[in-house]
A and B are shown apart, each in its own frame.
Chain A
Amino acid sequence: MKKTSNAAELQAIAKQMRREIVEMITYAKSGHPGGSLSVVEILVTLFFDVLRHDPANPKWPDRDHFILSKGHAAPVLYTVMAECGYTPKDQLNTLRKLGSIYQGHPDVRFIPALEASTGSLGEGLSIGIGMSLAAKLDQRPSRSYVVLGDGEIQEGQIWESAMFGGDKAVDNLVAIVDYNHIQLDGFVNDILPLDPLPDKWRAFNWHAIEVDGHSIPALQAAFAEAAATKGKPTVIVAHTIKGKGVSFMENNPKFHGTAPTQEEMEKALMELA
């Protein structure tokens, strides 16, 4: 794979991934488009610019670890891994089909290059802490990056791990919150509000950064700031739009967990042309 820091090149990959996400979920006839589309720039920036990793050597001990704790956004992870060359691109449209490596939620049994099987919300940050602690014990340069859903952080385990990470100064750990304000039953603010979100993390001794989660240069700067922050872990509160890039999916709770119809897919692909 060819890594790049060029924002225009990264944006082009992001657009291609959005097309693939919409297509694969349409063919699967089920899945989670909204929360996949909201984190495209975050994953593109990580996989094509920030992460130390090698698709030809997925178990490289000095690699960085990426965990999609909000496992229902599996399509975005599958598309970025396929773009990187970890997995076949031509099988993306087998998503959720029997025998497909592209399982409904990320599953290490089918894709050994994955760092964790996720799908039950709230567990990825703890797993990332474990990997970061192992890297420190072995004096490896590996860092862990964990993408969390905003609804996901209503889970109590997140705050167990936040308390631990802040107290133990796990500074080779970065959490990214996809703050798109929508969860399955509706708007986060109507269900169980999170604000003031950065202050909550700061109170747990995290370095908190707020960014526009769709601005690749802003994300690049935030990841650089995280890497330079010693003595505490960093959380990046990424302000995002659920369903970003497809007009009728944006900020629409319906597309949290509903697949587009064939007609909707064609309309979306025209917008993403």
Chain B
Amino acid sequence: METKTKFDLKLGMATREAFGRALVDLGRENKNVVALDADLSKSTYTHFFAKEFPERFVECGIAEANMIAIGAGLASSGKIPFAASFSCFAINKGFEQLRVAVAYPNVNLKVVGTHSGISIGEDGPSQMSIEDLGLACSLPGFTVLSPSDEVCMRALVFAAAAHVGPVFLRAGRPKAAVVHAAGQPFEIGGSVQLTDGRDLTIIAHGLLVAEAIRAQEALEAEGVSARVIDMYSIKPLDKEAISRAAGETRAIVVAEEHLVASGLGVRVSQVVAETHPCPMEFVGIQDTYAESGTPEELMEKYGLLASNIIAASQRVLSRK
């Protein structure tokens, strides 16, 4: 199979940096785009936008609730605001405002949460966002996106701006392996099938997409044919791709850097249950908070590597 050489998984930009760079280009195209930050612009990379468009950058200080609701006001006056912070702060400290000032009146605000998951490393659990997708998906009308690499992030920044309605865009801290070819199209509600496969399907988002590819390559060497899907659109979901995967491969593993109890996995399993019920396994963070460590150490300790996906694949195959 040619898939082995198809992915060299070379490290690219962190998705947060890809966001920050794309936002500048978006700002050049559309003068209605504004950015807000809560004293983390050097970490969220909105400082690129702030430098080029100081008049369209709103530094809110460490006050996320105020930032989200100011963003709602800007959006209601025709602006396309991108409000950025660490994901845990934007979502958790801004959640009430996301609910009442954004989701409920269906306001056109884009929220960008960087430093998602546990791969931020040493800072530890207070800065780690492992609940954000569950919370964001629980808001009616919200679009929720989790790009895997710089190519995907760049496209989704533009897709988020073109979409009328609230969007949550999840970004990571570490450099992310490039899994997509330049020019790959991405749309809200879509997904990208990276490899075809007969025996099972691995569905992943964010950093776990690269791990899924590594797992697929190892499984292939053992004669197991795995389909890998980058399910970057957490909500709305590409139900058609999930249904097809469940029907054709009859076994699914979902892998993500998020609590298994409230992430993509539960959303995929709902579609599987409604269409072609089949055995499923879930790779993700169990019902716990992580700790300080290097990103690599944490991804290993909390079971978010290709080896964990391989083990889950073997379990799911044994249940077919």
B231 within 8 A of A: no
Size category, A interface: 20 to 34
Note all chain A residues with C-beta closer than 8 A to B70: 126-127, 129-130, 133, 161, 164
**Distance (Å) between the CB of B91 and the closest chain A CB?**
16
Given contacts A108-B105, A137-B56, A160-B63, contact A126 B96 (CB under 8 A): no
**Cβ–Cβ < 8 Å partners of A129 in chain B:** 66, 70, 73
- Please give 14 more A-B residue pairs, beta carbons under 8 A apart, in addition to A123-B97, A130-B69: A116-B101, A120-B100, A123-B100, A126-B68, A130-B74, A130-B75, A133-B70, A137-B56, A137-B79, A142-B77, A144-B73, A156-B65, A160-B65, A160-B66
Contact assessment for A123 and B69 in the assembled complex, using a CB-CB cutoff below 8 Å = yes
Q: Which residues of A contact B101 (CB under 8 A)?
A: 116-117, 123, 126-127
A115 at the interface (CB under 8 A from B): yes
Contact A126 B105 (CB under 8 A): no
Task: Give per-residue flags for B76-87: 1 if the beta carbon is below 8 A from chain A beta carbons, else 0.
Answer: 111101000000
Q: Is B2 positioned at the interface, with any CB of A under 8 Å from its CB? A: no
**Is B20 located at the chain interface by the 8 A CB criterion?**
no
User: How many Å from the CB of A191 to the closest CB on chain B?
Assistant: 21
Q: Which residues of B contact A117 (CB under 8 A)?
A: 100-101, 104-105
B247 at interface, CB cutoff 8 A: no
B213 to nearest A CB, angstroms? 42
What separation, in Å, do the CA atoms of A137 and B78 have in the docked complex?
Answer: 11
Per the 8 Å Cβ criterion, residues 9-61 of A in contact with B are 61
A131 B74 Cβ-Cβ under 8 A: yes
A188 adjacent to chain B (CB < 8 Å): no
Which of B63, B79, B106 contacts A164, CB < 8 Å?
B63
Most chain A beta-carbon contacts within 10 A, residue among B60, B73, B101: B73
In the complex, chain A residues whose CB is within 8 Å of the CB of B76:
115-116, 127, 130-131
Is A164 a contact partner of B61 (Cβ separation < 8 A)? yes
B65 CB contact (under 8 Å) in A65, A126, A135, A137: A126
Q: How far is the CA of A61 from the CA of B79 in the complex (A)?
A: 12
| Interface CB pairs A-B, < 8 A, 24 | A61-B78, A108-B105, A115-B76, A116-B72, A117-B101, A120-B96, A126-B65, A126-B70, A126-B72, A126-B97, A127-B70, A129-B70, A130-B73, A130-B74, A130-B77, A131-B77, A133-B70, A135-B77, A138-B78, A160-B63, A161-B66, A163-B61, A163-B63, A164-B66
A residues adjacent to B (C-beta < 8 A) = 61, 65, 107-109, 115-120, 122-123, 126-135, 137-138, 142, 144, 156-157, 160-161, 163-164
Chain A's nearest CB lies how many Å from the CB of B295?
32
Q: Which residue on chain B has the smallest CB distance to residue A118? A: B100
A134 pairs with B77, CB closer than 8 A: yes
CB distance from A181 to the nearest CB of B (A): 26
Q: Does B58 contact A (CB under 8 A)?
A: yes
A131 CA / B70 CA spacing, docked (Å): 8
Q: What CA separation (Å) do A253 and B68 show in the bound complex?
A: 33
Cα-based distance from A129 to B101 in the complex (angstroms): 13
In the complex, the chain A residue whose C-beta lies closest to that of B106 is A109
Q: Give A22 Cβ to nearest chain B Cβ, in Å.
A: 28
Q: Which residue of chain A has the shortest Cβ distance to B74 in the bound complex?
A: A130
Q: Which residues of B contact A156 (CB under 8 A)?
A: 65
**Which of B74, B100, B106 is the one whose CB lies under 8 Å from A134?**
B74
List chain A residues, Cβ under 8 A from B56.
137
Bound Cα distance from A134 to B75, whole angstroms: 9
Residues of B contacting A65 with CB < 8 Å?
Answer: 77
> How far, in whole Å, are A119 and B63 apart by their CA atoms in the complex?
21
Shortest distance in angstroms between A40's beta carbon and chain B's nearest beta carbon?
A: 25
Residues of chain B within 8 A (CB-CB) of A61 are 78
Known contacts A117-B105, A119-B100, A120-B96: A133-B74 contact under CB 8 Å: yes
User: Please, which residue of chain A has its CB at the minimum distance from the CB of B96?
Assistant: A120
Cβ-based interface call for B134 (8 A): no
The 6 closest A-B pairs by CB, nearest first: A130-B73, A126-B69, A134-B77, A160-B66, A160-B63, A127-B73
In the complex, chain A residues whose CB is within 8 Å of the CB of B73: 116, 126-134, 144
Q: A131-B73, A164-B63 are contacts. A137–B100 as well, Cβ < 8 Å?
A: no
Provide the residues of chain B in CB contact with A126, threshold 8 Å: 65-66, 68-70, 72-73, 97, 101
**B85-112 interface (Cβ within 8 A of A):** 96-97, 99-101, 104-106
In whole angstroms, how far apart are the Cα atoms of A215 and B63 in the complex? 36
Q: Is residue B55 contacting chain A, with contact meaning CB distance below 8 A?
A: yes
Query: Looking across the interface, which residue of chain B has its beta carbon closest to that of A124?
Result: B69
- The reply on B147 being an interface residue by CB < 8 A is no
Complex Cα gap A115–B78 (Å)? 12
Residues in A whose Cβ lies below 8 Å from that of B99: 120
Across the interface, which residues of A come within 8 angstroms of B34, CB to CB? Answer: 137
Which A residues touch B106, using CB under 8 A?
109
